[in-house]
């Protein structure tokens, strides 16, 4: 399925812009439409800068599931559950976020046989710049972690999104 971005203006109107992004239907346990390759994750050793892992999750579904400063009700409430759909509406409203928990299917980097040490987990959204934004500076973040055997401890965190 192709993807079109709807951009609203201050007067309440909008324009639709074609993108090169693609969607797919995931039968991965949460059974809905996903945007393909929207975000990426990588794990990098801090002592030598070597990338030792990448994220397993390949698609993301946008919808208003985390109030992030908005005083309005959620507009986007799901990502379409019909695998035969020819059109799906998904997105994020101003002042809303889409929170993915650690237990979400596919939300991991395999660290089997990784040696103990310090690592940087870096997340990037829309690296291919498919979507028009007034500011791309908040499309990434990171966290430095210490891995010791089977435990992980956060050492420090990078930038976080700010509520409106």
Between strands 51-54 and 14-26, the pairing is: unpaired
pLDDT at 61: 87
pLDDT at 57: 80
pLDDT at 62: 86
80-129: per-residue pLDDT in tens? 889 999 999 999 888 999 888 777 777 888 888 899 999 999 999 999 99
Quote the CA–CA distance of 105 and 100 in Å, as a whole number.
10
Query: Has residue 30 got a pLDDT over 90?
Result: no
Distances in Å between the Cα of 135 and the Cα atoms of 33, 131, 138 are 26, 11, 7
pLDDT at 26: 83
Average pLDDT over residues 128-150: 92
Quote the pTM value.
Answer: 0.84
3-state helix, strand, coil in the chain (%, to 5): 0, 40, 60
């Amino acid at each position: 399925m192709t993807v079109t971005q709807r951009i609203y203006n201050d007067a309440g109107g909008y324009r639709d812009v074609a993108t090169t992004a693609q969607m797919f239907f995931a039968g991965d346990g949460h059974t809905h439409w996903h945007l393909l390759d929207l975000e990426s994750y990588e794990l990098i050793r801090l002592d030598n800068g070597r990338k030792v892992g990448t994220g397993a999750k390949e698609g993301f579904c946008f919808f208003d599931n985390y109030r992030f400063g908005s005083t309005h009700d959620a507009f986007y409430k799901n990502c379409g559950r019909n695998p035969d759909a020819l059109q799906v509406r998904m997105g994020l409203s101003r002042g809303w976020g889409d929170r993915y928990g650690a237990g979400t299917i596919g939300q991991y980097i395999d660290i089997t046989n990784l040696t103990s040490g310090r690592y940087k987990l870096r997340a990037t959204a829309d690296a291919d710049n498919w979507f028009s934004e007034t500011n791309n500076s908040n499309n990434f973040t990171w966290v430095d972690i210490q891995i010791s055997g089977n435990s992980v401890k956060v050492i420090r965190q990078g930038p976080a999104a700010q509520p409106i």
